[in-house]
């Protein structure tokens, strides 16, 4: 068994769940490939669930509800059955605690669209067994790298690791009017602003030119010191999944991994939803 690829997906606005886009096509393609490879399950970190203090949690609610979303018809998500992988969730808690984290289960957490939007788009017919890992609200890049590097070993067992956040994701700088007035999340009355274009390019450069390995870990943490970072991310929550992914592909063994920018969808003028895959199927580790 080789090392499975790892995805960093930018989930964008809630409307990405209901509207067609090249990103949605790419998510589906990645889902189809994963099913064809017989994945054991998905291990996913999102952007909307962060634990306070030093802790990190793993979802252990056997029958989680879904937090409702605006601007999406309920038929697109209400009946989709989530499939929490409780055995792997408990295993992840153990792995994280062995690595020095304060990890625990959360048996009441309801899943949020950052995660179920991606699962529905990738696996519309049935959700594979899924382990949902929280982030930590201190938003320390090195902490989230280490979460990824701790769970990296699951790639060797045919688990699919996904981080769902955003490449350029600043809700305060989005132009919301066309979505609010016309339900048009893809309207672009002007080009994106320079800071968004700059940071989007910086993310692509780190992803594609570093090609996995320790270099990518360093470069991804350094992006949080990029002059345009704070414009691109008014809050750090949507960037932690990128650090998690960098940790999951950050060993020497990962150096030279194939990296694909599989799709990219701009929304709300200034939000860049880039979709990256690091690694490939059937590569021996
Ligand atoms: Fe989000």
Q: Give residue 47 CA to ligand 1 midpoint distance, Å.
A: 6
**Helix axes 214-222 and 141-151, enclosed angle (nearest 10):** 150
Judged against a pLDDT cut of 80, whether residue 175 lies above it is answered with yes
Judged against a pLDDT cut of 90, whether residue 1 lies above it is answered with no
Residue 186's closest CA among 67, 75, 63, 24? Answer: 24
Give pLDDT, residue 194: 98
Q: Give residue 72 CA to ligand 1 midpoint distance, Å.
A: 14
pTM, rounded to two decimals: 0.97
Q: Write down the residue that tokens 């408990």 correspond to.
A: 90
- Mean pLDDT over 11-19 rounds to 97
What's the Cα-to-Cα distance from 142 to each of 14, 236, 243, rounded to whole Å?
Answer: 29, 13, 8
Read off the pLDDT band of 285 (50, 70, 90): very low
Read off the pLDDT band of 283 (50, 70, 90): low
Give pLDDT, residue 121: 98
Q: Give residue 205 CA to ligand 1 midpoint distance, Å.
A: 23
Q: Give residue 259 CA to ligand 1 midpoint distance, Å.
A: 23
Q: Give residue 183 CA to ligand 1 midpoint distance, Å.
A: 18
Give pLDDT, residue 284: 47
Max Cα-Cα span within the chain = 51
Q: Give residue 283 CA to ligand 1 midpoint distance, Å.
A: 31
Percent of the chain whose pLDDT exceeds 90: 98
- Mean pLDDT over 19-28 rounds to 98
- Mean pLDDT over 67-82 rounds to 94
Percent of the chain whose pLDDT exceeds 70: 99
Q: Which CATH architecture has domain 6-278?
A: 3-Layer(aba) Sandwich (3.40)
130 φ, ψ (degrees, to nearest 5) = -130, 135
Q: Give residue 243 CA to ligand 1 midpoint distance, Å.
A: 16
Residue 152's closest CA among 87, 245, 216? Answer: 245
- Mean pLDDT over 167-181 rounds to 97
**pLDDT tens, position by position, 208-263:** 999 999 999 999 999 999 999 999 999 999 999 999 999 999 999 999 999 999 99
Q: Give residue 166 CA to ligand 1 midpoint distance, Å.
A: 7
Q: Write down the residue that tokens 């949507």 correspond to.
A: 238
Query: What tokens does 273 get?
Result: 């939803």
Mean pLDDT of the chain: 97
Distance CA 232, CA 239 (A): 10
Give pLDDT, residue 201: 98
- Mean pLDDT over 68-79 rounds to 94
**pLDDT tens, position by position, 86-107:** 999 999 999 999 999 999 999 9
Q: Give residue 12 CA to ligand 1 midpoint distance, Å.
A: 6
Q: Give residue 48 CA to ligand 1 midpoint distance, Å.
A: 6
Q: Are strands 259-267 and 271-278 parallel, antiparallel or unpaired?
A: antiparallel
Give pLDDT, residue 48: 98
């Amino acid at each position: 068994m080789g090392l499975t690829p790892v995805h960093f997906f930018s989930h964008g606005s809630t409307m990405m769940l209901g509207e067609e886009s090249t990103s949605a096509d790419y998510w589906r393609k990645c889902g189809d490939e994963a099913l064809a490879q017989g994945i054991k399950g998905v291990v996913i970190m999102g952007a909307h669930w962060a634990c306070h203090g030093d802790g990190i949690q793993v979802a252990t609610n056997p029958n989680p509800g879904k937090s409702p979303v605006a601007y999406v018809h309920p038929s697109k998500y209400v009946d989709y059955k989530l499939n929490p992988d409780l055995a792997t969730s408990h295993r992840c808690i153990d792995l994280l605690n062995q690595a020095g984290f304060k990890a625990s289960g959360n048996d009441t957490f309801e899943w949020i669209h950052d995660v179920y939007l991606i699962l529905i788009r990738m696996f519309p017919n049935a959700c594979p067994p899924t382990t949902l890992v929280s982030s930590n609200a201190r938003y320390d890049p090195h902490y989230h790298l280490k979460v990824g590097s701790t769970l990296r070993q699951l790639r060797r067992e045919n688990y699919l690791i996904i981080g769902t956040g955003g490449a350029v994701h600043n809700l305060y700088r989005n132009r919301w009017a066309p979505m609010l007035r016309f339900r048009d999340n893809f309207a672009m009355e002007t080009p994106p602003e320079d800071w968004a274009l700059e940071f989007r390019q910086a993310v692509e450069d780190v992803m594609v030119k570093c090609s996995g390995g320790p270099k990518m870990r360093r470069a991804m943490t350094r992006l949080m010191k990029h002059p345009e970072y704070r414009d691109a991310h008014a809050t750090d929550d949507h960037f932690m999944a990128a650090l998690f992914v960098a940790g999951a592909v950050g060993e020497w063994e990962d150096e030279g991994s194939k990296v694909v920018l599989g799709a990219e969808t701009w929304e709300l003028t200034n939000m860049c939803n880039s979709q990256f895959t690091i690694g490939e199927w059937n590569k021996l580790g």
